[in-house]
Structure 1
C-alpha cells in the first residue's frame, strides 16, 4: 500500500535583506504530523524571483521528506509557483541569469518525479495549516539581528 500525505508549504523572501525561508507541514494518513522550516542561503540577484525560489524550495523539501512512491495532496498559496511545479514548466525568458531559480525548479522536478500521484491545491492563509506554514516560512526568513555600531 502506498503512503499518502497532505502537505502545506510556503516560502518567504525579504527583499531588503535578501533572506528567504521555507516552511511546511506534512500530515501523514497514519496521523503523524511534521512541521519544519529552513532558512535558505542568502540569495543573489533575486529581487524579481526570490519569493518563487522560496516557494519552490518549500515544496521541494516537503516532497523530499516523503517516502518514494508516496501520493500527496500539496497545498500552496502561490498560484504561479503551484503551476510551475504542477505543469513542470519554468519560463526563463528575460531571466536567463536566474540560476538560483533554475536550480530550485530542477530540484522541485526531481522531488516530484520520485513521488506517486500528486494533486495540487491553491489554499488561502485562512486555512489553519496553510497559515502555520506561512508563519514557519516567515520565521525562517527573518534576518539576523544586526549588531549596532559601538555595541557588542
Structure 2
C-alpha cells in the first residue's frame, strides 16, 4: 500500500510540475528581456534538477517496482505507464534538454517556439495519457480494486 501511495503522490506531483514548466513557464519566456534571459534560465535549470528531474526518476523507479506487485490483472497498466514515463524522460533528455542548453547560450524566439511545439506535439499527449491512466488506477485503488 505504501508503494502505491508513494507512486501516486510522486506521479501527480510530476504531472503538475510538467504542466507548470511546459504550459505556463515556456509561454512567459517571450516576455523576458534577452539580456536577462541567460541568468534567468540558468537559475531555472538548477531548480528543475531538484524539483522536476529527481521526482521523475523516483516516479520511474516506483513505477517499475509496482509492476512486480500483484494483482496481475493491473500489471499491464503499470507496464503501459512505465513505457509512457520512459518515453517522457527520453523525450526530455533527447529533445528538450538540447534546446534548453542552446537557450542558455543565447536567447532565441525560434528556440522557444521549437520547445513549445515539441512539447505540444510529442510530450503532452504522453503526459495526458499517463495522467489519465494513473487517475483510473488511483480510482481502482480507492475502490479496493487492487
Structure with more helix by fraction = 2
More strand by share: 1
With normalisation by structure 2, the TM-score equals 0.29
TM-score (norm 1): 0.28
